[in-house]
Structure 1
Amino acid sequence: MIQVGLTGWGDHPDVYSPTSKKSEKLIDYSSHFPIVELDASFYAIQPERNIRKWIDETPDDFQFIVKAYQGMTGHQRGRLPYANPEEMFKQFKLSINPMRASKKLAMILVQFPPWFDCIRENVNQIRYIRTQLEGYDVAIEFRHQSWYVPSMQEKTLDFLKELNFIHSVCDEPQSGIGSIPLVAETTRNDKVLIRLHGRNVNGWRNTTGDNEAWRKVRYLYNYSDSELDEIRQAVNKLKNEAKNVFVVFNNNSGGHAAENAKRFQKMMGIDFQALTPKQLDFFEEE
C-alpha cells in the first residue's frame, strides 16, 4: 500500500475549507491525506493532551509519522531540559504512547543532522537509540553523505536491517557532503519511508548565517512532472519490497507540497478511502 502525505498540517492553504477555523486545520487536512508527519514533536515533547486531541480529530485509519525530539537526534543547542537522556526518552515515549495505543503511530522518524557522520561514536549512538526505543517502529534518516559512499552504503543498510530500523529514503538537493543521494532500498519488508525535500540546491545550505531567512527558502521547490516520474519509479520499486510505502512531501516553503502530492497521487492512480468526509476536493477540476 502506498500512503501519501505532507509534513505538518498547518502550512498548506490549499487543503483548508474557506469556512474552517484555525483549530480545524488537521480535520481539513485529513479529508485529503491519510498520513502526516508530526513536526511539532521535534521542537518540544508534546503534552499528552495535544496528542489525544490530534487522535480524536482524525479518522480511524489515519496515521502519524512522529519526528523525534531534537535532543534525541543531536540537533539540540545548549543543555537539555531533562535530567539525563534516559528521562528525555521516557517523556517522549509517554507523550506518544496514546497514539501508539490507538494504532495511529506509523513510525518515529529519527532524522540526524548534517554533521552526524559515519564514525564509530555515531554508530554507537544509533545503537543507544535502538535500546531506548525498543519495540517501536523507527525510521532513520541521515543527512551526511559518508553513510552512502560506495564503500559504506551496503554496510549502512545492513546495519539498519540488523537493528530493525526503517530506511528513510530521501530526495533532496545534491549539495555536497551535507546531503545524501536517493537510495531506493528497503531495510524491512513491512515499511519504508520516502521523504521529498525538493531540489533547491542554492537554498539547501545556510551560507548567510540568517537561520530565519534560510528556512524560508530551503524547502522552496516545485517538482516538475518529469521529476515526480523519477519518484514514481523509485516508489514502484519500493512497493515490491515493502508492504507499506509512506511518501511525505516536505517542500512546503512556497505552498507547493500539497499540489505536488496530489499530482503524484494522480500519477500513481491512487484513490484514498476512509478520509474525513468534511469537504469537496478543491484540487479536482470543475
Structure 2
Amino acid sequence: MAITKYHLGCTVWSLKDWIGTFYRDDAKQKEFLRQYASVFNSVEGNTTFYHLPDLETVRKWGKQTPEGFKFCFKFHRSITHQKRLHGVEEDVRNFIDLFEPIEDRLGPYHIQLPPQFSPDEIGKLENLLAMLPSAFSYAVEVRHPGFFDHGRQERHLNRLLKSYNIDRVVFDTRKLHAMKSDEKSIREAQKKKPKVPVRFETTGSRPFVRFVGANDPINNEPYLKEWAIIVADWIKEGLHPYVFTHAPDPARQPPIARRFHQLLAELIDIDPMPAWPVEKQDKQLGLF
C-alpha cells in the first residue's frame, strides 16, 4: 500500500549509494526515480536550486512517478539568492511554467531565502507572494535571526504567510548541532546546515518539515518521536504535512524515514511503508 494521509520523502532520488541497500542490486540510474516512487510519495527538488531541467526531462519525471507522488521543487537560486526577490516576476513565471507538464505531480514549491534576507526586506517577499499563481502551493524558508525574535518581526512574517495560506518551512537541525563527532559527514553537515530555532506553529494547510540529525536512526529517536506526535496531531486536525528526512550521509536517509513512519503508525491509523525495491528483490530470489 502507498503512503497516504501525508507526504514523506528524502532530499534526492538519484543516489548510487542506495544500490543494494534501498534500490535493487541491478538498478540502473534511469530506474532510480521509478524505484524511489514505489516507496516514497514525495521528494525535495533541491536540484532545481542549482540547475533547471529541460522540458523532456520534466516529462520523463512525470511518467516515472505514480498518481499522488509530489515533487517539491526549490526555486532557482537566481530568484532567491542572486536577485533576492527583486525584479523576478519573469523568472518566477518561467520557472513555474517549466513544470506545467507535470502540474498534477507538484507539491509545495520550496522558496528558500538566504540567511542575509532580513525582516527589512519583507516587502520584497510580500510582492513575490502576491504574484504567485494561486493554483499551486508554496512553502517559505527563512534563516535570518530577525524572523525568530518571538516579536513583531516574526508575527509579521507569520501573518503574511497565513494570509496566503503558505507554509513556513521548519528546518530542524537541533540533533545535528548537538552532536560531538569526528565523523566527516557530520562535521561537514554542521558547517553547512543552519542553526535556527524550531517553530511548531502552522501558517498553511501543508506543514513542511525538514529534519536532519544523526546518520543512525536510533540516535534520532527522541526527535523523531516528537515529530511523530506533532505530525499525527496535524493530520487529525485535517492538515496534510510534508516530512523530509535528511542525514549528514545522504545514503542513510531512507532508514530514518522508515523509522519516522513506524513511529507515526503507532499514533494514527496508517498503512506500513511499502517494501523497498531491494527487499522485493530478495523476496523474489527466495522463491527460486
TM-score range relative to shorter protein: 0.7 to 0.9
> 2:9 maps to which residue?
5
Sort the Cα spacing of 1:132 and 1:241 in 2 relative to 1 into closer, same or farther, 3 A. Answer: same
> 2:74 maps to which residue?
67
> 2:123 maps to which residue?
124
One-letter identity of the residue aligned with 1:192: P
Residue 151 of structure 2 is aligned to residue 147 of structure 1: no
**Alignment deviations for residues 89-117 of structure 1 (CA, whole Å, 9 cap, x no partner):** 222022111121xx110110001122222
> 1:192 maps to which residue?
207
- Of the structure 1 ranges 237-246 and 12-21, higher mean CA displacement relative to structure 2 is found in 237-246
**Alignment deviations for residues 6-45 of structure 1 (CA, whole Å, 9 cap, x no partner):** 1110236132111111111111111111111112211122
Q: Which runs of 5+ in 1 are unaligned?
A: 78-83, 200-219
- Of the structure 1 ranges 16-25 and 39-48, higher mean CA displacement relative to structure 2 is found in 39-48
How far residue 181 of structure 1 moved from its aligned partner, in angstroms, is 1.5
1 or 2, which has the higher helix percentage?
2
> 1:31 maps to which residue?
38
Give aligned pairs, total: 252
How far residue 221 of structure 1 moved from its aligned partner, in angstroms, is 7.2
Residue 256 of structure 2 is aligned to residue 260 of structure 1: yes
**Alignment deviations for residues 158-212 of structure 1 (CA, whole Å, 9 cap, x no partner):** 121123312212211469xx53211111112x3111111337xxxxxxxxxxxxx
What SS does the corresponding residue of 1:15 show, helix, strand or coil?
Answer: coil
Question: Which residues of 2 match residues 116-265 of structure 1 at below 5 A?
Answer: 116-119=117-120, 122-135=121-134, 136-151=136-151, 152-173=153-174, 179-188=195-204, 190-198=205-213, 223-251=219-247, 253-265=249-261
Q: Which runs of 5+ in 2 are unaligned?
A: 178-189
Cα-Cα RMSD: 3.0
Cα distance in 2 between the residues matched to 1:94 and 1:265: 33
Contact 1:30-1:276 within 8 A present in 2 as well = no
One-letter identity of the residue aligned with 2:14: G
Cα distance in 2 between the residues matched to 1:18 and 1:232: 32
Cα distance in 2 between the residues matched to 1:187 and 1:283: 44
Question: Which residues of 2 match residues 7-22 of structure 1 at below 5 A?
Answer: 7-11=11-15, 13=18, 14-22=21-29
Cα distance in 1 between the residues matched to 2:24 and 2:159: 45
Contact 1:192-1:242 within 8 A present in 2 as well = no
How far residue 155 of structure 1 moved from its aligned partner, in angstroms, is 2.9
TM-score relative to the length of structure 1: 0.78
Cα distance in 2 between the residues matched to 1:20 and 1:8: 16
Cα distance in 2 between the residues matched to 1:282 and 1:145: 48
**Alignment deviations for residues 229-267 of structure 1 (CA, whole Å, 9 cap, x no partner):** 122223233334452111011225252211100111111
TM-score relative to the length of structure 2: 0.77
Paired-residue identity, %: 24
